[in-house]
Amino acid sequence: TPVIGVLALQGDVAQHVAMLERAGAKAVPVRRQAELARVDGLVLPGGESTTMSHLLGTFELLEPLRERIAEGMPAYGSCAGMILLARQVLDGRADQRQLDGLDVVVRRNAFGRQVDSFEGVLDFTGAGRLHAVFIRAPWVEKAGDGVEILARIPDIPEAGEAADRIVAVRQGAVLATAFHPELTGDERVHRLFVGMVRGT
């Protein structure tokens, strides 16, 4: 059974732990370097990316985490986690730090006010058609050649400006979604990630 950590500095940690367990992993919270060293993969939950970036510094996890990701440890970021994994953030705070795990540029709080908490059905490569919940979510504004696009916002009138925007990506062992599968009771995205961890 793979042991998967959930970065537990801030954000919706308990929901990810529950979903990972349902998807067949052993899930453990990670707050310290020694805990990070023991996991086979890591989930970076939703929350507030500027706060999490700050806490990663305080807990001296930023460099160790960046190193493990660079060495190929599987990582999955949802929402704020996607922001942290990105190479670059638009509309971030000047002191926001990046983990550089994905060759993408993300826009923070990208959905306009009307669609701030957009929900919709999308086709997710490798997980199927699923209901996605977006809460002050980012989107991927630009993705490098090595980045696989797994899902986009459907082109429907309710999506407004967000239509066709990229909201799920994978690059090697790093997976990211702009939405929160941990809130829907559907563990397919977590299963996909557990499979990625098993494969390494």
Annotated catalytic, 161? no
The Cα 56–Cα 93 span in angstroms is 15
From the candidates 60, 119, 161, 182, give the one annotated as an active-site residue: 182
Residue 47 interacts with ligand GLN (CB under 6 A): yes or no: yes
Residue 108 annotated as binding site: yes
Q: How far is the CB of 15 from ligand GLN (least distance, A)?
A: 12
Return the range that interacts with ligand GLN (CB under 6 A); candidates 1-9, 47-55, 115-123, 125-133: 47-55
Residues in 128-167 at the binding interface with ligand GLN, rule: CB under 6 A: 135-136
Residue 83 interacts with ligand GLN (CB under 6 A): yes or no: yes
Residue 83 annotated as binding site: no
Residues forming the site for ligand GLN (CB under 6 A) = 46-49, 79-80, 83, 108-109, 135-136
Which residue numbers belong to the known binding site for L-glutamine?
47-49, 108, 135-136
